[in-house]
A and B are shown apart, each in its own frame.
Chain A
Amino acid sequence: MSSSQMPGNPSFEAPKKVSGFRTVLKYTGIPPSWLDKRPKLPSRNWLIFWSLTGSVVGYYVYDRRQCKQIKQHYIDKVKHLSEASVDPFDTPRRVTVYGAKWPGDEDYDQSLRYFRKYVKPILVAAAIDYELVAGKRHGDIAKHVAEDVRKRRRLSEGLDQDSDVTKALPTYKPPAERRKQELAGGIVIVGRPTFKEFMSGLAKGWTQGLEKVDEDERLAHILEDDGKFDEPEEELPIGVYEDGTLKESATPSPKASPVFSPLQLHQKPPLSSPSSNMSLSTPTTPPTFIPELPPLLLVPFTNYIGIKQIPLMIWGFFNQRQKVQSGAEAGYRLVMHSTRPFDVPRHVSDSIGDDGSHSVQGGDLDFNKEAEGYYKKSLDDLEEDIDISRKKYYEKLPEKLATARALSRGTREPTKEEYENPPPTEVELRAERLKKERRWRDDVAGWNIIKAGSPVVWDSRFQDALKVFSEPPKHDEEQRS
């Protein structure tokens, strides 16, 4: 190039020595500048740009292609199951999927999304029906599981019967058959918080009494004489004042709430509370033996949230194949239905009630434990935050109450503003307070189940009842393929 730029003779002679394809193509009409074109590297900046963009895009494309391949591989492995023909009245295998709220995440269904994205395709390919149970707040899954167990126990004790309407349906199956079907199905548990909530709910359900407990009513009963709604005029205006504003607002009232106060909740796991209401009524004691439960599928799942974990999110974005692999493997384990007993080290005793050293429990109880390290640190103050909001609320309450009472008794005329948007009446205030208390207490109880320090609830009766899906033996798989 540089020689052709030189002035004088050399530049004149150089073009004479044309050879090769140039001589051939000279008269074809292709512009001669095209023939003289010589490839050269783009500038440094372009090189940097292209190599960066190329590697990022390339990595992304590679990852997604791998994802597809892995998924397809597992789908092909299980496809034969869905191609069998069935009787239209047969019910397919059905599994229940639990996904609890991840602590600190506003979206409560992250774990179910994970399930839908990575595990579901395998189940769909294998024609397994699934039912999703989402926990909108902490503790919801525990409650749901406990309630299910309770219903089931009532049914088997003969306290409840299937309604006649259900029995008349053509698809009706007697409980024994339903149990069998359930056992053939399974339970999918996504992530560590779900696992903890599930185990806690299970223990609660198998320990608690059988009668229906209306939580709202129970709470109302507890709260009814804590003095928050007392008339300040006649009796000890100072006392109420003290109670509302000064030091002890963590316990709603010092005298009336030995039954169920947040302070006590703090000290022991919430599981011990059932014992108090069990004594109230139950005709049946908790069974010493738990019948076999559907096997569990433990799906590891970590949800990254917060600014600090953004690098991990980016890394995860380019490595989705690992999640696809782990999800598909889990799905495959479920489909193949090979189980092993729940692995629990011998020294783990019933962990209901004691909260000694529980950093490592061992066995399956430590399932996905490392995920707990990713919980947000700010959540450790959850209880204090709730206490603060409770305190604030109770500080404002007497004022609102005074207005409501004054207006309802007609001791003063409502102001113009109050005409336009009337302040809440006393009944409304009570209802609101009950709702708030309920939410605070439930949140604290739920958080105490799943927080990093609290152990997974274990009951020695579970030993024979629980099973876990395990890797199917290799030769099995080869035979099929």
Chain B
Amino acid sequence: MSFLRGGAAPQGGVNMEKIEMAITELDTVTDFFNRMVQSCHNKCISTRYADADLNKGESVCIDRCVSKFNEVQKKVGEKLQSRGAANAGPSTGGFL
């Protein structure tokens, strides 16, 4: 957080819009991550918790799940962006 102090003091007016944007972006990323963890956990890991470590089946499943999640996220993002660009009016704020 040192860059905030360094940047804020000399200029005085911090660009609030940018910070706003950064916060929204962080929110989306966190939200995306949490959702991914939750759904992949539900899908791949049994609730018996027999072992402390992941076993082979679970790790393969998680690999696939995460990559699929990312893929879909990317596709949806692209779609939304292109739609947003087409509509031009309502901006699709908050998406990567």
Spell out A's residues near B (CB within 8 Å): 81-86, 88, 92, 124-129
Contact = CB atoms under 8 A, between A and B. Distances in A.
Contact of B59 (A81, A86, A125): A86
A82 B57 contact: yes
Contacts of B61: 124, 127
Contacts of B51: 85
A83 B53 CA distance: 11
Interface residues of B, number: 12
A397 to B, nearest CB: 33
A81 B60 CA distance: 12
19 contacts: A81-B56, A82-B55, A82-B56, A82-B60, A83-B56, A85-B51, A85-B53, A85-B54, A85-B56, A86-B56, A92-B56, A92-B60, A124-B57, A126-B57, A127-B55, A127-B56, A127-B59, A127-B60, A129-B60
Interface in B14-55: 51, 53-55
Given A82-B56, A92-B56, A127-B60, 18 more contacts: A81-B56, A82-B55, A82-B58, A84-B56, A85-B54, A85-B55, A86-B55, A88-B59, A92-B60, A124-B57, A124-B61, A125-B57, A127-B55, A127-B56, A127-B57, A127-B59, A129-B60, A129-B63
Nearest to A83: B55
Contacts of B56: 81-86, 92, 127
Contacts of B60: 82, 92, 124, 127-129
B40 to A, nearest CB: 15
B79 to A, nearest CB: 21
B57 to A, nearest CB: 3
Counting from the closest, the 7 A-B pairs by CB-CB distance are: A82-B57, A127-B57, A127-B56, A85-B53, A127-B60, A92-B60, A86-B56
A83 B61 CA distance: 12
B64 interface: yes
B55 A92 contact: no
